[in-house]
């Protein structure tokens, strides 16, 4: 079944992933009215969506997903809600864990309640593979149990439980997406790839947690946006879909790729720093289910890194000031 949507709400659309979703949805749903609800936290930037905003393709509402009346007003007559807004950085969750529960759990609850009372016919909740916890061998499919290990992933798992309650009790038409690590331009430089790029762009060394052997899979933000389009058009309501890639790299390998992109030596430009309180060694998911809907990742991290690195080089001064302002350095 192929659907078109008159009105689409994207929460967190001025953040990293949300802004790529905005770009893609503007292109593939040209007749849809697209609204972004974003609190404009440190991770958001008007510039991320300045093209669609300037063209009048998107309306930006600055507000909080914990504000029921605001959410209820915005989802009225929406035919699709893509719920991306969240506090998303694991390291921050060790210091401000209550904020993570507030935004990710209460905010999701508030948004689901607004969708329920407004009768929104299709909702996609964006979650993370981190809800499965550490996966030392093999892969997790969608039926694996949740075993989050840090305040961020715990808040995302708790948000999923709220959604679960709504799908069972109220038959709320939600589809759940669990994505592995995502890369691309516009990601706040507290996460590994942008942080490495910004460090080298500023002539600093790359700080690597622990021994640098922790491994992550990486999915391009554009590929995730396509997955969301496919789920919007033909995802099965109440199902969970893993969305991942075969691109797995140890943190030190990522640092090496980025050193190469900057023409700098790894040995002279990487410094190892103490690890997080707890750092999952590996996550791994299988995504056969969404493959059966015709989705597969198209992009390769190694090919994209030079272009991502160039974007951080061009934006280095602005991002460095932002990092200082948000105490992220």
Q: Which of 78, 101, 107, 160 binds ligand NAD (CB under 6 A)?
A: 107
Among 5, 8, 18, 123, contact with ligand NAD (rule: CB under 6 A): 18
Of 80-88, 140-148, 265-273, 289-297, which segment contacts ligand NAD by CB under 6 A? 80-88
| Alpha-carbon torsion (102, 214, 143, 293), positive or negative | positive
To the query of whether residue 152 is one of the catalytic residues in this protein, the response is yes
For 1, 3, 21, 289, 297, the CA distances from 292, given in Å and listed in that order, are 14, 18, 22, 5, 13
User: Hey, what are 219's tokens?
Assistant: 């999915």
**Which is catalytic among the residues 79, 130, 190, 223?**
130
d(CA 37, CA 107): 12
Burial class of 54 by CB neighbour count within 10 A (0 to 12, 13 to 18, 19+): exposed
DSSP state of 233: H
Q: Mark whether 130 is an active-site residue.
A: yes
The count of residues interacting with ligand NAD (CB under 6 A) is 31
The count of other CB atoms within 10 Å of the CB of residue 11 is 28
| 1-9, 73-81, 84-92, 281-289 -> range binding ligand NAD (CB under 6 A) | 84-92
Please report whether residue 156 would count as binding ligand NAD according to CB under 6 A.
Answer: yes
Task: Give residues 297-316 in contact with ligand NAD (rule: CB under 6 A).
Answer: none
Q: Which residue has the tokens 């075969």?
A: 246
Measured CA to CA, the distance from residue 196 to residue 12 in angstroms comes to: 24
List 9, 12, 150, 192, residue binding ligand NAD (CB under 6 A)? 12
H-run or E-run covering 302: helix 301-314
| In the complex, minimum distance from the CB of residue 63 to ligand NAD, in angstroms, rounded to a whole number | 7
- 100 binds ligand NAD per the rule CB under 6 A: no
Catalytic residue among 129, 160, 190, 223: 129
For residue 104, the Cα-to-chain-centroid distance in whole angstroms is 12
Residues that bind ligand NAD (CB under 6 A): 11-12, 14-18, 37-41, 43-44, 64-66, 84-88, 103, 107, 126, 128, 156, 179, 181-182, 188
Active site residues: 129-130, 152
């Amino acid at each position: 079944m192929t659907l078109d949507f008159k009105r689409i709400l994207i929460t967190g659309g001025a953040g990293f992933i949300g802004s790529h979703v905005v770009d893609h949805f503007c292109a593939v749903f040209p007749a849809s009215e697209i609204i972004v609800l974003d609190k404009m936290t440190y991770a958001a930037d008007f510039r991320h969506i300045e093209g669609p905003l300037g063209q009048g393709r998107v309306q930006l509402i600055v507000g909080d997903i914990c504000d029921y009346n605001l959410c209820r007003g915005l989802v009225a007559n929406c035919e699709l809600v893509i719920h991306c807004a969240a506090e998303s950085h694991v390291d921050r969750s060790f210091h401000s864990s209550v904020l993570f529960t507030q935004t990710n759990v209460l905010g999701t609850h508030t948004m689901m309640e607004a969708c329920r009372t407004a009768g929104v016919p299709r909702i996609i909740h964006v979650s993370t593979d981190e809800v499965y916890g550490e996966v030392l061998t093999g892969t997790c499919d969608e039926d694996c149990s949740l075993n989050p290990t840090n305040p961020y992933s715990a808040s995302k798992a708790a948000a999923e439980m709220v959604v679960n309650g709504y799908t069972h009790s109220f038959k709320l038409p939600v589809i759940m997406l669990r994505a592995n690590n995502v890369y691309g331009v516009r990601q706040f430089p507290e996460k590994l790839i942008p942080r490495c790029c910004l460090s080298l762009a500023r002539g600093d060394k790359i700080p690597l947690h622990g021994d640098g052997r922790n491994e992550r899979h990486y999915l391009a933000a554009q590929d995730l946006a396509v997955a969301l389009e496919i789920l919007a058009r033909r995802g099965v309501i109440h199902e969970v879909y893993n969305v991942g890639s075969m691109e797995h790299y140890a943190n030190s390998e990522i640092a090496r790729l980025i050193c190469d992109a900057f023409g700098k030596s790894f040995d002279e430009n990487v410094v190892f720093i103490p690890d997080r309180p707890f750092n999952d060694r590996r996550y791994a998911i299988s995504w056969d289910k969404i493959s059966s809907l015709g989705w597969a990742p198209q992009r390769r991290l190694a090919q994209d890194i030079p272009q991502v690195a160039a974007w951080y080089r061009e934006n280095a001064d602005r991002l460095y000031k932002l990092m200082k302002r948000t105490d992220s350095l």
